[in-house]
Structure 1
Amino acid sequence: MRSDLPLWPDQASAHASAVDILLYGFTGLIFALSVPVFILIIVFAVRYRRGRKVNRRHQVNRNALLEVSWSVIPFLLILCFFFWSAWLFFDLKHPPASALEIDVVAKRWMWKFQHPGGQGEIDELHVPVGEPVKLTMISQDVIHSLYMPALRLKQDVLPGRYTTMWFQADKPGIYRLTCAEFCGTNHSLMGGHFVVMAQQDYARWLQESGVDQTLAAQGETLFRTYGCSGCHSPAATVHAPSLDGLYGRPVALQGGETIIADEQYIRDSILLPQQQMAAGYPSIMPTFKNVLGEDDLTKIVAYIKSLKATQWREHP
């Protein structure tokens, strides 16, 4: 057996420990409910086999309490496990507001991670210990699935749609990550590691990365390079929506519905501007589909997310 593929992965988070306890408990419950049945099957098959002289005239005993208990008690126990697992699932879908946000772009056959400070990594992810981390992920080509065994987490990564996953690693170390969705010829090679570091070591790693601009600052450069500021700046003559404070804000659409401006809405507005038009604005924005790659989109979305109300700066 390969040393990097243990039979049972390490636990690097409280969530991983909770998942293991849930697994042990549910497995024990299944054994407790099924083993007596199989034992009695064997006992009865041996005792009452053909040709064996044994009393087969058993008096009917209708013990209603026993019959009801045999049905109700296992049902209630299984229901407890259902609510337990549902609570774990609910917790996974609600990351803390203070979580460190890292963008992930998957493509055959590599993982690219973008930190908010502008640091980029391929097939390796550095995170601080004891701090919640939220991954916002998208695929550049086919469906992938980011699997981190030590965290007991797996999330599909889809083309054209953002998915998220969050975790809080509590044990420093180096752990495996891999793709758990068959994505092509070299699927088995699409892996890497995530490194859980002490807070001071992570801060030092960020400083030593040699990045001059944050992810949002790189996005601002692209925003102006592609001419977006010509329509969306306060001084623009074109009647276009303001982007100041857009992220997280309700947006009224031409169809009469309202949508929250999340990462998906911002991305779709860049690539498919006619799909969800803001109410009161003309349909004049060109599409940037097949113009911007996922890496550039990630940076531009990060820049728009960083804009607060009245934050726009005019560059000479």
Structure 2
Amino acid sequence: MNDTDARLSATFRLLQQSASSIADRTDLLFTGMLLLTGAIALAICATIVVFCIRYRQGARVERGLVGRKLGLEVGWTLVPLALFIGLFVWAGHDFVRLYQAPEDALPVYVVAKQWMWKLQHRNGRREINELHVPLGQPVRLVMSSQDAIHSFYVPAFRLKQDVLPGRFTGLWFTPTQLGEFHLFCAEYCGTEHSRMIGRVVVMTPADYARWLASGPQEPSLAQYGFALFRQLGCSGCHAAGSTVHAPSLAGLLGRQVHLQDGRTVVADENYVRDSILLPRKDVVAGFAPVMPSFAGQVSEEDIQALVAYLRAGAAP
């Protein structure tokens, strides 16, 4: 192979570079879908061509009433149906798996705003339009928007997730290749949408640990959340020794919560967010709806810090 052939093989590939644990499965799914739909399309086209030739004007063929063939009709109905249902189950399994992060996933909190990505790691290290992650370590993104709808898109990871105002969204991935990979906003979000770009930097675990420790010495996200917890007066009601009758927040995230209207919900990041901003939406059974709303008093970063604090442990 000469130098020109080598350059062409390096720049042309059937599928784009894959650099995450989900990328190969996504490529396999899309290849399977392409082959299945392509085979059916070719079969239909071939049948049309055969019929056009066989039953063309002037051809001596039987054109009378054709008897019904039940087996053939059932076959061409059920076989494609079974194939496409199988494809749907396959895609559904991978989709659900994408949102079930491993317990040891490294949390990274993301706030999208016009027109940048603001990211914060567990120890408080902040980034703008860059995300540094360790190779081979599952990473979980907890994302919210400060203004419009954005979309976190890393083509090489085969990941795209809308980032919405008013709620948390998330996904997880495991980087499988070292290097730098493009990060885009894939949802039109305003006049500077095309400039809302960044990069994901995948490093060896040792290099990532050094990079994480080399930043400015700031309180961790959970420590900042604890300070907010006390500053906003939350500890006056939710602390273990409080005289106010309020729900315990110990081990809240992931726990089932029974509500006043008879529903049962799993406490996740969105439940915590609604409890802070819309406290009368999901009132815990056995408690009066007396908690005030903190809407307008806390930012997206503040809510993420409070979530990180609750995830780190019980309220003091």
TM-score, length basis structure 2: 0.86
In the alignment, what sits opposite 2:179?
A: 173
SS in 2 for 1:87: helix
Structure 2 counterpart of 1:160, from 166, 173, 187: 166
Is 1:10 equivalent to 2:17 in the alignment? Answer: yes
Q: CA deviation digits over 1:5-56, x for unaligned, max 9?
A: 9984310123211111221222112222221322343454456555xx4313
RMSD after superposition: 2.7
Structure 1 segment 199-238 matched on structure 2, within 5 A:
199-238=205-244
**CA, structure 1 residues 281+31, in 2 after alignment: closer, same or farther (shift >3 Å)?**
closer
- 1:237-262 CA-to-partner distances (Å, cap 9, x unmatched) read 43333333333333333334333332
Q: TM-score, normalised by structure 1?
A: 0.86
Q: Which residue of 1 aligns with 2:26?
A: 19
Match of 1:193 among 167, 190, 199: 199
**Is residue 79 of structure 1 aligned with residue 82 of structure 2?**
no
Q: For structure 1, which segment, 243-252 or 16-25, has the greater mean C-alpha deviation from structure 2 after superposition?
A: 243-252
Q: Pick closer, same or farther for the CA change 1:6–1:290 going to 2, 3 Å.
A: farther
Identity of aligned residues (%): 47
- 1:265 corresponds to 2:271: yes
Whether the 8 Å CA contact 2:15–2:27 is kept in 1: the answer is no
Shift of 1:151: 1.5
Amino acid at match of 2:299: G
Q: Please state how far the C-alpha of 1:61 moved relative to its aligned partner.
A: 7.4
Partner amino acid, structure 1, of 2:278 = L
1:131 partnered with 2:137: yes
Shift of 1:174: 0.9
C-alpha displacement at 1:175, in angstroms? 0.9
Of the structure 1 ranges 17-26 and 269-278, higher mean CA displacement relative to structure 2 is found in 269-278
5+ residue gaps, structure 2: 1-9
Post-superposition offset of 1:173: 1.5
Which amino acid is the alignment partner of residue 39 of structure 1?
A
State the SS of the aligned residue for 2:253. Answer: coil
Deviation at 1:203, TM superposition (A): 0.8
2:59 aligns with one of 54, 62, 72: 54
Q: Is contact 2:154-2:183 (8 Å) kept?
A: yes
Q: CA deviation at 1:162?
A: 1.3
Q: 1:144 to 1:54 in 2, by over 3 A?
A: same
Q: What secondary structure is seen at the aligned counterpart in 1 of 2:215?
A: coil
Residues 58 and 108 (structure 1 numbering): CA distance in 2 closer, same or farther, change over 3 Å? same
SS at match of 1:146: strand
Q: Could you tell me how far 1:158 is from its partner in structure 2?
A: 1.4
Distance 1:128 1:278, change over 3 A: same
The one-letter amino acid of 1:19's match is: T
Going from structure 1 to structure 2, the CA distance change for 1:119 and 1:56 (only over 3 Å counts) comes to same
Find out whether 1:254 has 2:264 as its counterpart. no
Q: Give aligned pairs, total.
A: 306
Could you tell me which runs of 5 or more consecutive residues in structure 1 were left unpaired when the two chains were aligned: none
Which of 36, 39, 42 pairs up with 1:32? Answer: 39
